[in-house]
Amino acid sequence: VLAQNHIIHFDLKLENILIEEEEVTEVEEFGGDKKRLAPPSLSIALSDFGEGKIYSNASDSNTHRNRGTEVIKSPEMLTVAYAGRVTHDNYDRRKRSGAGPLSDVWSLGCLLYELVVGEYLFMEDDFGAFLNRVTAPNAELLKAEQLEKLASMPFIKDMLYFILIRDPNRRPHVEEVLDRVTR
């Protein structure tokens, strides 16, 4: 797991997940038919660490650099360009502001929706509407039409509500997400 190795990806999306089917053993049966001896095995790898960050301890984990793809950015990453800048009047280096490891958890929620539905969760024609939807405390995160697409998948809907918490201090850690999946 990236988090255990002090790595933040900041760009978790389908385009950065590589899947390869490994060779499957087949045997020829009587009559020339072939039969698989085992189900296919997949090899999955994460790619494109160009936006990533390696950190040594919690105090070094946050960034004030704008990183990643807009539609999967966490609320704190979307506002990082404006709040917590070193040049900003009220900047305090002791305060853990900016975007950190929990940004990847937010992106996992976006990735989950994209995997299940086949489209981005936060795709808006207007950037202002997109920014408001993701960052404004009272804005609706999951639209009615998106919830309708998940109507037959209550576990997925529940996971999205669990993961997509605007406040990173209240958002679950990746271990909590994994724990919930394996329950």
Query: Concatenated DSSP letters for the chain?
Result: -TGGGTEE-S--SGGGEEEEEPP--EEEPTTS-EEESS---EEEEE---TT-EE-SSGGG--B-S--S-GGG--HHHHHTTTSS-TTSTT--TTS--SB-THHHHHHHHHHHHHHHHSS-TT--SSHHHHHHHHH-TTS-SS-HHHHHHTTT-HHHHHHHHHH--SSTTTSPPHHHHHHHHH-
Is 104 annotated as catalytic? Answer: no
Closest CA to 171 of 47, 48, 3: 3
The active-site residue out of 11, 33, 48, 167 is 11
Distance CA 58, CA 54 (A): 11
Q: Which residues are catalytic?
A: 11
